[in-house]
Amino acid sequence: MVQISDAEYKVLLAIQSHGGEARESELSITGLSEREIASAISWLEVKGLIDVEKKETKIYTLSEEGRRYLKEGLPELVLYRKLEEMKEITLDEIRNLMPESYRIALAQLAKFGITPKNGKLTFKDPGISEILEARQRFLSNLDPDDKEMIDHFRHRSGIIEEKTKTERIVKLRDTAVEAISGFDQEGTIGTLDPSIISSGNWRNKKFRKYDLNSPAKQIKGAIKHPMTYLIEEIRQIFLNMGFTEMSGQYIESTLWDMDALFIPQDHPARDMQDTFYVDSPGFVIDNDQISKKIKRIHETGFDGYTGWGYRWSAEESRRLVLRTHTTVNTARYLYQNNEPPQAIFSIEKVFRHESVDWKHLAEFYQIEGAVYSKEVSVSTLKWILRDFYSKLGFKEIKLVPSYYPYTEPSLDVIVKINGREVELGGSGLFRPEVLKILGLRAPVMAWGMGLERLAMIFYGLTDVRDLYNTDFDFLSSFRFDTDKILKDNTAKTG
């Protein structure tokens, strides 16, 4: 008679208690892990005690949007209930009520003939309450047998996700019954422990053989953090464009972070409200030579440029800050490498005294690029930005006048995402005062943008904090697909 282990015996009993046939996932057995059960099943098959059949089943999970609807209600249901209560509701009210999802709600209700007339919806009862409730219920049970609902939600992108899982169905053979009754509960050693050895009990027992072919649980290999992934993509874009990477430091003096960029010492951005000052007496970042020049240019200017006309303070310039932008990297780099041409970039962290919410972080990455060359002009700026942004996937950009203390002209970059315009960074040509301070002999174009903002667009997030969520499953669910995202995300980007 075939010999079976303790675990195999337990699995046979469990299958028997399921009427002789069970899905592997149904077998929960005290004292046995999923892996031990899986291994026992494989053995039992090899020993000819059970039949194993593989069956594919679909498993449904909610996407982030789906989870939100589960919590807050499906847009169409929310709107329908509201309409039922108010009888009449204007489009403006609807937009206010559900700014993120009113489009979806209206589109879904329209399918039942509830459409706006003269700017408002009027309640009628086409008997859809039950259907809408059923949809809502489906979000909580995700019943894989509910073909109608699955079909419905499959056609609404981004609410449910479908995965195929292969499961084993196990069936007892006649031989199993014999094996169960013949099993000597004390007979075979499946798990060796110290007491079996010290008591000498092992001497008159048999050992179960190792199964080197038993299926092991699948483990996920390491994957890159979504931010790391994006940083590497962007680094590659810059490198392919022939740019050199520069890097700076978190702590800077205001001299470099601001003064060198001709930001006056009374500029509002220097306010404690916006900037983290570092309290660290004795730690000095300074440069006498440049501070003399900075003083002169801030106070009286040069060659017809009038300066700011205030008294520049050396003491103020020595205050330390957590760098507020990576344009300070550009300033330092070009000061040290003042031979044109140079094309440089960095993707590094900056710090601002912001209260953290769905759209803001106090610590975030900036992408910075700059070109120093006698060929630089407004038109080169335009084509370099077009080239860069189109490599990110934004085929259309618009430049609109803006203001930064260190550039003239200053231009903000607007990109189009599904017909909507989103501001995605600043740019400009360094002012003559900045060139003079840094000792540069040719024009400089520079641009900068927040990386998390871009990540939200690429990953379809509505809350920037999600990027720093530490839940592994959540992080590994990120997919980077520029083309798809730029097409699909109208409702998501804010």
Which residues of the shown chain bind ligand PHE in the complex (CB under 6 A)? 325, 327, 404, 407, 426-428, 446-448
Nearest distance from residue 376's CB to ligand PHE, in Å?
13
Nearest distance from residue 446's CB to ligand PHE, in Å?
4
Nearest distance from residue 364's CB to ligand PHE, in Å?
10
Nearer to ligand PHE, 109 or 385 (CB): 385
* Residues 373, 312: Cα–Cα separation, whole Å: 30
Nearer to ligand PHE, 160 or 411 (CB): 411
Nearest distance from residue 460's CB to ligand PHE, in Å?
24
Please calculate the CA angle 318-322-324 and round it to the nearest 5 degrees. 100
Per the DSSP assignment, residues forming a β-bridge with 206 are 188
Nearest distance from residue 368's CB to ligand PHE, in Å?
6
Nearest distance from residue 456's CB to ligand PHE, in Å?
17
* Residues 327, 259: Cα–Cα separation, whole Å: 12
Under DSSP, the state recorded for 373 is: S
Nearer to ligand PHE, 426 or 443 (CB): 426
Nearest distance from residue 60's CB to ligand PHE, in Å?
42
* Residues 409, 389: Cα–Cα separation, whole Å: 19
* Residues 208, 186: Cα–Cα separation, whole Å: 12
* Residues 139, 282: Cα–Cα separation, whole Å: 60
Contact 313, 264 (CB under 8 A): no
Nearer to ligand PHE, 407 or 489 (CB): 407
Nearer to ligand PHE, 113 or 401 (CB): 401
The one-letter code for the residue type at 423 is E
Contact 29, 172 (CB under 8 A): no
Contact 44, 215 (CB under 8 A): no
Nearer to ligand PHE, 128 or 263 (CB): 263
Nearest by Cα to 14 from 34, 3, 1, 215 = 34
Under DSSP, the state recorded for 420 is: E
Nearest by Cα to 345 from 324, 360, 330, 364 = 330
Nearer to ligand PHE, 62 or 269 (CB): 269
